[in-house]
């Protein structure tokens, strides 16, 4: 395990948005619309600052994140913080959940599957992502990052093992399994030793 000291901040905020009558993102199956809430969808923000350079990583419970969402989030942050947060130091990612509503991707193929752009999905997503970053910003403090890796078995499968076998033999020989079984965890801990994020 590798451990180093930085200024760190973590924050979380709800991005659930509308819960009914909008197509779920990613399945492209007519009639597969939200019918209520099993669990809320979240945006989790992590800020790392070292020697005056700041980086934000955000993981959202969405199918993916589009550049238009990022632009709106950065604009919202800049209205409060000026140029502390930019398109160069804010990175948005996703868990690839298909449990959230669609209508927030600006590319036609994705929008056809959910019948177009849906601002009612976009607004809470942008607001929630920005708020998670604001929460992380407000909790910036000295702390440490730790990096760990391990093998995680019996948790995932290859959905198309036959297709995997179409890869060149020399490529397949580089790996023990037909899916990645390595889990990498970045841990955030305060100077006082309290875990605040993974």
Measured CA to CA, the distance from residue 98 to residue 64 in angstroms comes to 9
Residue 96 assigned ligand-binding role: yes
Q: How many CB atoms lie within 10 A of CB 76?
A: 18
3-state secondary structure of 161: helix
E-strand stretches of 51-194: 53-60, 90-94, 141-151, 182-190
Measuring CA to CA, which residue among 21, 7, 92, 16 is closest to residue 54? Answer: 7
Q: What is the largest CA-CA distance in the chain?
A: 53
The conformation of residue 24, written as its DSSP 8-state character, comes to B
Six-digit token string for 75: 């604009």
Who contacts 3 (Cβ-Cβ below 8 Å, separation ≥6)? 144, 145, 146, 147
Which residue numbers belong to the known binding site?
A: 96
Residue ranges of the annotated binding site for Zn(2+) are 96
């Amino acid at each position: 395990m590798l451990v180093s000291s930085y200024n760190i901040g973590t924050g979380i905020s709800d991005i659930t948005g509308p819960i009914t009558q909008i197509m779920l993102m990613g399945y492209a199956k007519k009639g597969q619309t939200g019918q209520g809430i099993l669990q809320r969808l979240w945006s989790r923000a992590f800020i790392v600052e070292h020697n005056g350079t700041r980086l934000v990583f955000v993981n959202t419970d969405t199918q993916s994140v589009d550049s238009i969402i990022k632009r709106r989030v950065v604009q919202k942050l800049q209205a409060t913080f000026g140029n502390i947060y930019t398109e160069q130091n804010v990175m948005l990612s996703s868990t690839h959940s298909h449990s959230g509503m669609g209508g927030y991707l600006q590319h036609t193929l994705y929008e056809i599957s959910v019948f177009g752009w849906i601002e009612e999905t976009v607004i809470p997503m942008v607001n929630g992502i920005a708020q998670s970053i604001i929460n992380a910003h407000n909790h910036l403090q000295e702390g440490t990052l730790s990096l760990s890796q391990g093998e995680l078995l019996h948790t995932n499968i290859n959905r198309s093992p036959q297709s995997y076998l179409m890869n060149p033999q020399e490529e397949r020989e580089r790996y023990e399994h037909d899916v990645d079984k390595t889990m990498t965890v970045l841990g955030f801990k305060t100077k006082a030793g309290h875990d605040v994020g993974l």
